[in-house]
Structure 1
Amino acid sequence: MKHKAELLSLPEELLTYILSFLPWRDILHCTSLCKAIRQTYMSSSELQYVTELGSQQLLPTSNNHISVSKRLQLLRDNTRAWFKFDLHSFETISIPEKFHMFTATYITNGHACFWKPSIDSIRIFPILPKPSQQTIERDFSPGSLCAVPNHSNINVFMDPAQNLLAIAYAIGDDNYPSDEESYIELLTLDGDGAHPQAAGRTLFMSDLWLPRSRENFVTRCSKLEAFGRHIAFLRFVPLFDGTGSSFASIWWLQIWDWHNSTSSNSILSGPIVLDLDFDRSTDFCFLGNDRFLIISDDLKLYSIEDTSQSPQLLACFLLPASVFNLQCFTPTNDIARSSHPKIQAQQATWISDPKHRVLSLVSHSSDLDFVISTRIFFGDFFDSEGMSATIPWIYWGPSNARIFLHHFPCRLGVSGNRALYAFPAPGATKDGYSIYSEYRLHLMDFSPLAVRRHQPGLRRLVNEPSIVENCESGEYLTTFLPYVEVVSDRTFSWGEFVEIWLDNDKIYLFKENIDNDRMDQLEVIEM
């Protein structure tokens, strides 16, 4: 009561605790203004960890079994590891023969997941796990996925981080095959019971989307995906007339908060399209726990905080007029929080911030690959009258994207702020199928930290504009999102990277062997 205690008179432990509540930029600002605070910062692993996480645009997880100093060292090592980009140290895994043809392949959370719809079979196993890593290994024999009689599986989603297996299936009447009802079953991957965090074992689909006449009505394509407590199911439906000829198609999407309810009114649907192309022309991806992106001829951003009502449109981001039919190939496992205690204890101590990462969008019709920074989707998009914004490409796209020519057959892999793509090697020749004789892998880091910390000689800084041509329209598109790049010295043939997955510390390449007596392989490169 006689004198006021000053901040710097506090014990160092208490001063560190107080500073830890500040945003990471404010912590650094304080260290630049006060020598005493700088000394506290230099002696505190906690404060350095906070600022390193913030500068790398990552979010912490609650892995308290690892000391803060160890977490800080792992985080710094994680950044430096990518400077080397050594692709000569790798291991290969043979893929089971029954999964060679017409198989959906997922690489997520250090696990490989194979689903073959034709035989209704799934196999999931860990990829070169560390001795201390908690893993899941399952082999579902044909017909064992769903115990419901008279069902047909539409799609599956597997997330080892949440110990989740979601199965979308339909139940039809033998006499009236088109009169079907659809559901989603929520199970655990390491057992056969209902998921303990699910509000119920079965999610019920609304039938409000069905046309008034269900005659000659079938589902052709679908997509099932989950992020945290949300799960979304997208269906593409061709419509047939009385003669059996198709005349139009529609799409319909429903989102559930599967932790809290088995039903949902969060529904979006597309208009009837009068064409005969049933390939997926609409896609979606989660941008976090509260934002959702519909990808079509434009990018529509929605709020999904409340699944008891239709998603709220926040903004529409227009694409160049010549670009259409985009698909999203961005995995969400690297931004999903683990909710399975046994696995969480072995997970990394940080995750990508949904507000600071990149998306991979591909336009096959235009032979273009888009890399888009998600920061553009986390602003305030309402005008003074509360109307959602429509933003032309020229105002948001060039500064928040890079466009690359899409080289068959490879697709671009992304994780966090990094992207991996195979470009034709200098001097490579091209055959009649637009396949080059040699490719090199290019690792691109789009994080502002990587750009600021760029060191000449180690990686190339790309901050000048790039121009690509849309093969369909002849339009030239200019983009200039900065990034740093390192190129592999090892070359690949096209069959060595039919699929690419990029994880936090690993690269996965799907190698297709044409010889009938050899098995397909998964090459694993640890950074």
Structure 2
Amino acid sequence: MPKSLFLSLFEELRVYILGFLSFRYILCCASVCKALRQTYMSSSELQYIVELSGQCLLPVSITGDHTPISERLQRLRDKAHAWLKFNVFAFQTGTLPIPFPNLRCSTGEYLYSWIHHSDLVTISPIPSKYPQQTIEHEWSPKTLCPSIFTQRVKYILMDPAQNLFGIMYIVDNMAYRIYLTTLDDGHVHPHAAGPALNLELSVYAFDVKLKCYGRHIALWRDCETSRFLQTPWHLQIWDWQHSTTSSRQHIHQCQFLFSRNDRLLVFDRELELYSIEDTSKTPRLLARFQLPFPLVNLESDHSSQPKMQTQAQSVYTSDPKHRLLCVYSLIDDVRKIFVISTKIFFDIDQAAVKPWRYKPWRYGIPWQHWGPGHVRVLKYKARNKTKIHLCGNRVLLVDKITSKTHAYKLRMMDFSPLAVANRRGLGRVVKERSTTTSGSYSEWPDQSWDNITHWHSTIEKSMPYVEVVSSRKIAGGGWLQDVWMDDDRIYLVFVTSCSRDRKLQVIDIY
């Protein structure tokens, strides 16, 4: 359509047409034409689209929400700016006692503990200033699986967004049973295909990992073999709502996570992306990404459902195509945190995908083709001195200031595209390229020491972000056990040195 013809349209029609464009194209149109600039500035709808996409959020419509677009837009901007006002003097803080001493896990607005000697699970909600569903009870896991066989609890998972509570038992070290119940009353989950997921093994499993994302539950296990110093790992995936299964074997010790309901990331000697859309079939390899560093550990935001905003506003969730994950690495005995944008895993050039070979680490998308524009490297202290948590496009680092005192410093990094625009003079903008040197000739052997991988000596990264460092020390009367954040709060769990009690400190972002 010619420019003159488009500009002759009614403004409402121009807004409607521009609304089909991405936020970058909307901003581009507004920057090259004065008339379109005026259309953009006078339209709350277009600005709301830009703000949502620029913060890497997706709207989730709810029934009965009639909040004006202009009000939603202002709240989004205010919230983004509030996170950059990272001066804890302006925060509302409160310290709450945790009602049980053996804290095991936190999931959103709930905590649970698992006391092994009494075989008791306790679930408690975190007090909130907003109305919320309250789930608070305790029970023995044995009540969920009546059986004559000797069983022991191996793992517990909890997903409040789906009202899902799962307990995995091991029978005679060879069989696994995962019982799926509702979180609020302990009954069989109504969406589950059956009361339990079952898996029989032909070999003994040393260790297991259990993760849940939406309709998928994944069980990762290492199994004993006769080959010296080699432990094959197996991945079993259930669509627990339809009881279909799929499996995949990896030789090296790996880590994995769900990038969304139909994709799985596996970190081995390389980063491998699989499609699990059809769990009745073996996961399909989509791409392999070369890594210039050895993997030690990883962390990600595993939110499987939108976080409900309890104020009178629309619900929104972080876009799975624009989230972050952290990879911990050890380069020349120095700990590094590699922050990776998941955007690259949804913009795959299929021509770059190499066929599967006997030695897969020799193939894949080279680091130089995907890494520099989607990665940043952060400094990382010892595990007991630095805590990290991800939420959408934000990274929270809590560093212990000195080894002699229990005082901590908060650092927050926002990697969303509009972070620079929303900072309003706050924080430090980091855009320049930087390099990390891993040594002139870095080597990393596999488990059997049969193969040696040579990593790049220089790693470039250029993903921009805004960093804000708190101007006040955080002290909770003990050492920091855990930290996490959601859309509105930061949670810190401290353990007192003398009584070993847990205290929860909540920082409201407003």
Distance 1:346 1:143 in 2: 41
Alignment-derived partner of residue 450 in structure 1:
419
Q: Helix, strand or coil for the counterpart of 1:375? A: helix
So what's the TM-score if we normalise by structure 2? 0.81
2:243 matches 1:262: yes
Indicate how the Cα distance of structure 1 residues 248 and 181 shifts in structure 2: closer, same or farther if over 3 A, else same. Answer: same
Is the 2:340–2:375 contact (alpha carbons within 8 Å) kept by the matching residues of 1?
yes
Alignment-derived partner of residue 461 in structure 1:
429
Return the match for 2:316 from 338, 350, 362.
350
Quick check: which one's strand share is greater?
2
Indicate how the Cα distance of structure 1 residues 6 and 413 shifts in structure 2: closer, same or farther if over 3 A, else same. Answer: closer
Return the match for 2:299 from 329, 334, 359.
329
Structure 2: unaligned runs, 5 residues or longer: 357-362, 444-456
Deviation at 1:22, TM superposition (A): 4.1
Alignment-derived partner of residue 217 in structure 2:
231
Q: More deviation in 181-190 or 138-147?
A: 138-147
Distance 1:412 1:233 in 2: 24
Return the match for 1:371 from 316, 324, 339.
339
State the one-letter code of the partner of 1:92.
T
Is the 2:84–2:423 contact (alpha carbons within 8 Å) kept by the matching residues of 1?
no
Return the match for 2:292 from 320, 324, 328.
320
State the one-letter code of the partner of 1:253.
L
State the one-letter code of the partner of 2:323.
R
Deviation at 1:54, TM superposition (A): 1.4
2:350 matches 1:382: yes
Alignment-derived partner of residue 181 in structure 1:
175
Deviation at 1:501, TM superposition (A): 0.9
State the one-letter code of the partner of 2:244.
S
Return the match for 1:190 from 184, 187, 195.
184
Alignment-derived partner of residue 278 in structure 1:
none
Distance 2:352 2:472 in 1: 55
Is the 2:219–2:237 contact (alpha carbons within 8 Å) kept by the matching residues of 1?
yes
* Deviations, residues 407-443 of structure 1 (Å, cap 9, x unaligned): 1212321111110113465xx5x57xxxx87542111
2:35 matches 1:55: no
Q: Helix, strand or coil for the counterpart of 2:326? A: strand
Alignment-derived partner of residue 454 in structure 2:
none
Indicate how the Cα distance of structure 1 residues 38 and 255 shifts in structure 2: closer, same or farther if over 3 A, else same. Answer: same
State the one-letter code of the partner of 1:192.
G
Q: Helix, strand or coil for the counterpart of 1:82? A: helix
* Deviations, residues 348-396 of structure 1 (Å, cap 9, x unaligned): 6111111111102223675222211111111224228984760233332
Alignment-derived partner of residue 484 in structure 2:
501
State the one-letter code of the partner of 1:157.
L
Is the 2:61–2:314 contact (alpha carbons within 8 Å) kept by the matching residues of 1?
no
Q: Helix, strand or coil for the counterpart of 1:166? A: strand
State the one-letter code of the partner of 2:389.
G
Alignment-derived partner of residue 279 in structure 2:
307
Is the 1:96–1:519 contact (alpha carbons within 8 Å) kept by the matching residues of 2?
no
Deviation at 1:20, TM superposition (A): 4.0
* Deviations, residues 493-515 of structure 1 (Å, cap 9, x unaligned): 69543322122221111212121
Distance 1:161 1:38 in 2: 41
Distance 2:193 2:311 in 1: 24
Deviation at 1:344, TM superposition (A): 9.1
Indicate how the Cα distance of structure 1 residues 343 and 54 shifts in structure 2: closer, same or farther if over 3 A, else same. Answer: closer
Q: Helix, strand or coil for the counterpart of 2:368? A: helix
Q: Helix, strand or coil for the counterpart of 2:419? A: helix
Alignment-derived partner of residue 412 in structure 1:
388
Is the 1:404–1:468 contact (alpha carbons within 8 Å) kept by the matching residues of 2?
no
Q: Identity percentage over the alignment?
A: 39
Q: Helix, strand or coil for the counterpart of 1:391? A: coil
Distance 1:26 1:240 in 2: 58
State the one-letter code of the partner of 2:417.
P
Alignment root-mean-square deviation, CA? 3.5
Distance 1:155 1:27 in 2: 48
TM alignment of 1:103-118, pairs within 5 A: 103-108=103-108, 110-117=109-116
Indicate how the Cα distance of structure 1 residues 476 and 121 shifts in structure 2: closer, same or farther if over 3 A, else same. Answer: farther
Indicate how the Cα distance of structure 1 residues 438 and 188 shifts in structure 2: closer, same or farther if over 3 A, else same. Answer: closer
Distance 2:462 2:231 in 1: 37
Distance 1:384 1:371 in 2: 23
Deviation at 1:82, TM superposition (A): 1.0
2:326 matches 1:360: yes
Alignment-derived partner of residue 446 in structure 2:
none
Alignment-derived partner of residue 450 in structure 2:
none
Distance 1:440 1:269 in 2: 42
